[in-house]
Amino acid sequence: MDPATLRLALTVGGLVLAVLLGFGLGRLNPPPNPTRTGSLPVTGEHSHAPGVGAHSHGGVTVTQGGDAGAAGLSISSAGYTLAPSTVEFAPGRAGELRFQIRDERRRAVTRFAAVHDKPLHLVVVRRDLTGYQHLHPTMAADGTWSVPLTLAEPGAWRAYADFTAVADDGRQTALILGADLAAPGGYTPRPLPAPATSATVDGFTVGYAGTPAVGQSVPLRFRVTGPDGAAAPLEPYLGAYGHLVALREGDLGYLHVHPEPVRDGDAVTFWLTAPGPGRYRMFLDFQVGGVVRTAAFTVPVA
Ligand SMILES: [Cu+2]
C-alpha cells in the first residue's frame, strides 16, 4: 500500500468509525421531546427519585406526554388519541367498551410497554367520583381494545387509558388519556364523602399516614388490617403491594403516583404529588387471598 492509499484508507476508516459512533450515541441519547414533563408511575427495573421526569427503563428513554400536574384531562396528547367506538351505555346493563389508541398518522397503535404488569390500565369513574372501576382490557391484533363494562347508574362517566405507547422507532411515550362516557337517565350526583384517613371495605380497614402537599412528592404510607384486627397478608398486585389512583374533584384530573415496590414493614408506600389545592379522591386497590378490593379516601390538600 502506497502512503496515499494508506492515508485514504485511514481517513475513510475514521469517517466510518465516526458515523458508527455518532449513530450509536444518537441511539443512546434520543433528542429530548419538548412535550415531556411530569413523572412516570413505573415499578420494577426502574430507579429514579420520585417526581423526577426524564429517565430511562432498561435503557429505553420514556417520554412522559401531557401535563405535569394532572393527567387524563385530554382525549389527545403528544400525538396520541384515545378513540372509543361507543360512548353510550344503558345504565346497569352489561356492555362492552371498545377503543383504539391512535398515533399522529391516525393508525391504531399495537405496541405498548407493560407498566405495572399490564400494557394498558383502564380506570372508569362517574363524574361525582362514585362507581370507580380499574379494568384491564385485551387488545386484538388490529389494536382494538375491549373490556366488559357496566355503568351502574345514570350520569356522565370518565374513562382513562393509562399506557406507554411504543413508536416504530422504539421511542416510548407514557400517557393518560381521558374520554367521557354517558349513561343516559336521571343523574343525582352524590356529594364527596368527608375527608378521612381510614376506610373500610369487606371487613378490611385501610388507613394511611402522610399529608399530600402542592407541588411536592410526599410519601403516603398505607396499612391494611384484616377482619381479625391483624395486619392483612397483602399479596403483590400489578408489580407492587397495591395500586393507587388519585382523582381531583372538579375536573377529574388524574394524578401521577409512584408505588414503592418493597414494603416498609406492613406498610405500603406511594409517592403522591398534588398539582394544586382542592379535594382529591384516592382509590387504593389491594389484594388479599386472591381477591382485589378497593378502599377510597377523600383527601383535602391545602
Ligand atoms: Cu391496571
For residue 273, how far is its CA from the centre of ligand 1 (angstroms)? 20
pLDDT computed for residue 42 by the predictor: 39
β-strand partners of 218: 272
Q: Which tens digits make up the pLDDT trace of 79-89?
A: 999 999 999 99
Describe the chain by its helix, strand, coil percentages, rounded to 5: 10, 45, 45
For residue 15, how far is its CA from the centre of ligand 1 (angstroms)? 49
Average pLDDT rounded to a whole number, residues 274-295: 95
β-strand partners of 268: 222
* pLDDT band at residue 239 under the 50/70/90 scheme: confident
Q: Which tens digits make up the pLDDT trace of 246-274?
A: 999 999 999 978 888 788 888 999 999 99
Average pLDDT rounded to a whole number, residues 92-119: 96
Please state the pTM of the whole predicted model. 0.79
For residue 4, give the 3-state DSSP assignment.
helix
For residue 176, how far is its CA from the centre of ligand 1 (angstroms)? 12
Average pLDDT rounded to a whole number, residues 203-229: 95
* pLDDT band at residue 69 under the 50/70/90 scheme: confident
For residue 237, how far is its CA from the centre of ligand 1 (angstroms)? 9
Confirm if 62 and 173 have CB atoms less than 8 A apart.
yes
CA distances from 37 to 2, 15, 67, 213, 282 (A): 57, 37, 7, 19, 23
β-strand partners of 147: 97
Least-confidence region, from 2-16, 177-191, 280-294 = 2-16
Nearest to 297, CA basis, from 178, 194, 154, 161: 194
For residue 12, how far is its CA from the centre of ligand 1 (angstroms)? 53
For residue 115, how far is its CA from the centre of ligand 1 (angstroms)? 9
Judge whether residue 105 has pLDDT over 90: yes
For residue 29, how far is its CA from the centre of ligand 1 (angstroms)? 30
Percentage of the chain lying above the pLDDT 70 cut: 77
Nearest to 248, CA basis, from 221, 282, 296: 282
